[in-house]
Amino acid sequence: MAGKYPDIKGIGVTSFGETFVMTDENGTPLHPAMLYTDPRGEEQSERLVDTLGSRQIQKITGLKPHATYSMPKMMWVKENLREVEGDASHIFLMEDFVVFHLTGVAQIDYSLASRTQAFDILHLCWSKTIFDQAGMDSRKMSKPVPTGTPAGPVRRAVANRLGLGADTVVVSAAHDQVAAAIGAGVFDGSTAADGAGTVECMVPVYDTLPDMDVMYEGNYAVIPYVISGKYVTYAFSYTGGALIQWCIDVLAKEEKQQALTRHLSVNELLEQEYIKKRGDVPGKLLVLPHFAGAATPYMDAGSRGAILGLSTDSRVYDIYRACMEGVVYEMLLNFHLLVKSGIGCKKMAATGGGAKSKIWMQMKADILDVPITALSTSDAGTVGASMLTGLAIGAFRDLADAAVHMVQETVTYQPDKEMHRMYMKNYERYLDLYSAVRPLVGGGR
């Protein structure tokens, strides 16, 4: 089977963050990988805060301490699965796990390393302070390398098994959201990426280190970017497209059938019905989009969603429109906080399924008051990994050249100042929702 795919010159590896596994010297897992959603590690996270202080941990790692990150969970394994940690030769996150099995090289890119809460974002190395206090051995971690660094060719046995050429290069690409920002062609502080998927995620670039106090208060991570000296952060809502889908699945069953007979998507039907009955103006309802808890800036798992302003005149398309608006209001709240931290964003590049909705894209431009360009791809992370891989094998001169060949723009939505003014009236009311609803549902940070 060797050489079956001779045209494949490079493989870029990107992955979600935090999840890790301890392995033997051959990379064989010694336990099931611990996901970022695993509740274990909360006690260990609190201990780190008690000894080092939350602010110091954030200044070193760029992360406000939380049990989501890898280090507290690594500590849990050491304390509760002693034989596993004792026998482990490697501690891998998913990117470096795959790279190691393909090449035999244990390396991890800076952006993914920063998701461990053990990486020094200023000195770009594992933090001795964090590892010493945690009682963990940093020598078991993969070597941190710049985003997009080639690890080397695939091992001969792997090449033969997969049908790859022996000279196929494997690249440590990036954490998935960083890869998505690269795939959106976002390289400086003038532009932010908007991932309009199941989760709504805004990724702005900082040309210098941001205001760490503002980042701390807003629960924003500080992540080294692919361009040396630059950083990114993630402002996100757990329910972006997921909230729209909930509205359709639970409330719009009849509309689904109507859409089929009219050869429309149910989204198009609801959008058209709203404009037909209410006009192309902001809705009267307000939605707090915390249907899966609150992400940034609150990071409040106990918060819950709410729909306010319902009357006997309310229809499904009103709730659908309010869900769309609520997601964008939540991102505007984040946007305003990030401006205080130092971003200079003047435009956005949108990817994902939500970028295909002309109504939603125009709404985002109007509410955020910045131009938004929709990109053709629904998976910017794959494009970003391809760009980094192409750069590593010499297919592109630099990232700008890669963007010319790989990033495809479709349409740019310009903000309407009058619509922005109308939306801001709703936004002023929206700002009171979280504090009003939280006590009623038992939420709290």
For the stretch 200-212, pLDDT in tens is 999 999 999 999 9
Identify whether the C-beta of residue 225 lies closer than 8 Å to the C-beta of residue 298.
no
Identify whether the C-beta of residue 235 lies closer than 8 Å to the C-beta of residue 192.
no
Does 286 share its domain with 226? Answer: yes
What mean pLDDT is predicted for residues 283-293? 96
CATH of the domain at 335: 3.30.420.40
What mean pLDDT is predicted for residues 416-437? 97
How much of the chain exceeds pLDDT 70, in percent? 99
Does 21 share its domain with 90? Answer: yes
Strands 235-237 and 200-206, how do they pair? antiparallel
Structural domains of the chain, count: 2
Does 346 share its domain with 431? Answer: yes
> What CA–CA distance (Å, rounded) separates 235 from 123?
24
Does 68 share its domain with 203? Answer: no
pLDDT band at 418 (very low <50, low <70, confident <90, very high): very high
Angle, vertex CA 131, rays to CA 150 and CA 233, nearest 5:
55
Predicted local distance difference test score (pLDDT) of residue 363: 97
> What CA–CA distance (Å, rounded) separates 218 from 211?
11
Residue 83 lies in a domain: yes
Does 40 share its domain with 169? Answer: yes
Predicted local distance difference test score (pLDDT) of residue 443: 52
What mean pLDDT is predicted for residues 29-50? 94
Does 325 share its domain with 241? Answer: yes
Residue 179 lies in a domain: no
Domain hosting 257: range is 184-375+415-445
Identify whether the C-beta of residue 171 lies closer than 8 Å to the C-beta of residue 137.
no
What mean pLDDT is predicted for residues 219-226? 98
Identify whether the C-beta of residue 244 lies closer than 8 Å to the C-beta of residue 324.
yes
Helix (H, G, I), strand (E, B) or coil at 41: coil
Predicted local distance difference test score (pLDDT) of residue 402: 98
How much of the chain exceeds pLDDT 90, in percent? 93
What mean pLDDT is predicted for residues 75-85? 94
Residue 4 lies in a domain: no
Asked if residue 378 has pLDDT above 90, the reply is no
Asked if residue 3 has pLDDT above 90, the reply is no
> What CA–CA distance (Å, rounded) separates 14 from 22?
19
Closest CA to 105 of 166, 171, 163, 165: 171
Does 57 share its domain with 148? Answer: yes
> What CA–CA distance (Å, rounded) separates 16 from 315?
38
Please provide the average confidence, as pLDDT, over all residues in the chain. Answer: 95
Does 170 share its domain with 200? Answer: no
Note the pLDDT tens digit of each residue in 119-149.
999 999 999 999 999 999 999 999 999 999 9
Residue 269 lies in a domain: yes
Residue 395 lies in a domain: no
Identify whether the C-beta of residue 99 lies closer than 8 Å to the C-beta of residue 52.
no
Residue 127 lies in a domain: yes
> What CA–CA distance (Å, rounded) separates 88 from 56?
29
Does 169 share its domain with 249? Answer: no
Does 348 share its domain with 250? Answer: yes
Does 195 share its domain with 327? Answer: yes
Predicted local distance difference test score (pLDDT) of residue 442: 77
Find where tokens 């903000």 sit: 415
DSSP string, 117-143: S-EETTTTEE-HHHHHHHT--GGGBPE
Note the pLDDT tens digit of each residue in 237-255.
999 999 999 999 999 999 9
Strand partners of residue 204: 192
What mean pLDDT is predicted for residues 164-169? 95
Does 433 share its domain with 347? Answer: yes
Residue 421 lies in a domain: yes
Please identify, among 174, 195, 228, the residue that sits at the C-terminal boundary of a domain: 174
**Amino acid present at 329:** Y
Q: What is the largest CA-CA distance in the chain?
A: 69
Please identify, among 174, 192, 226, the residue that sits at the C-terminal boundary of a domain: 174
Please identify, among 126, 153, 174, the residue that sits at the C-terminal boundary of a domain: 174
Strand partners of residue 11: 170
Residue 380 lies in a domain: no
Strand blocks (E) in 90-238: 90-93, 107-109, 119-120, 125-126, 143-145, 149-153, 169-175, 191-196, 200-206, 223-224, 231-232, 235-237
User: How many Å separate Cα 179 from the centre of its chain?
Assistant: 10
Closest CA to 121 of 41, 221, 204, 188: 221
User: How many Å separate Cα 157 from the centre of its chain?
Assistant: 34
What mean pLDDT is predicted for residues 147-173? 96
Predicted local distance difference test score (pLDDT) of residue 222: 98
Predicted local distance difference test score (pLDDT) of residue 1: 45
